[in-house]
Chains A and B, each alone.
Chain A
Amino acid sequence: MIPLDLKRSVVLERFEFIIELYNTSQVDEWAHQTLRTITSPLFNELVIRFVHTADPWGPPCSVSGGWGAVDVSLNVLAERNPDFRVVFRGDFVGNCDVVRQHIESDYFPLASSKGFVTYEQVPNVEDRFRKLGIPLLP
Chain B
Amino acid sequence: MAVRPAWMEYPKPEEHLFNFRRRGPEAFERLIDADRSGLLPYVRRITFKVAGGSFDPENMQKYLPRLRSITNLRSLTLIFFNINPFIPVFNECFGMFTDTLRHLEIRNTWGMERQLLYIISQFSLLEDLSIVFPTLAVERSEHPVPAITRSPPLRGTLVLAKAYSREFSEGLAALPGGLNSRSLELFRCGGPQFVLVACSHSVTSISYLWCARNSGYGSESDPCVRMSVAI
Contact = CB atoms under 8 A, between A and B. Distances in A.
Interface in B27-68: none
Interface string B195-208: 01101111111111
B192 interface: yes
B187 A1 contact: no
Contact of A23 (B205, B208, B212, B218): B212
Nearest to B203: A9
A16 interface: yes
Contacts of A10: 200-201
A47 B205 CA distance: 11
Chain B residues touching A, majority SS: mixed
Interface residues of A, number: 33
B132 A8 contact: no
B107 interface: yes
B210 to A, nearest CB: 5
Interface stretch (A24-32, A53-61, A109-117): A24-32
A18 B188 contact: no
Interface in A1-52: 1-2, 4-6, 8-20, 23, 25-27, 30-31, 42, 47
A2 B209 CA distance: 13
A1 B216 CA distance: 19
Contacts of B216: 135
B161 A132 contact: yes
Contacts of A15: 205-206, 208
Interface of B: 107-108, 132-133, 159, 161-162, 187-188, 192-193, 196-197, 199-213, 215-216, 218
27 contacts: A1-B212, A4-B193, A5-B197, A8-B200, A9-B196, A9-B206, A11-B201, A11-B202, A11-B203, A13-B205, A14-B205, A14-B206, A16-B205, A16-B206, A20-B209, A20-B210, A23-B210, A23-B213, A27-B212, A129-B209, A132-B161, A133-B132, A134-B161, A134-B187, A134-B188, A135-B218, A136-B215
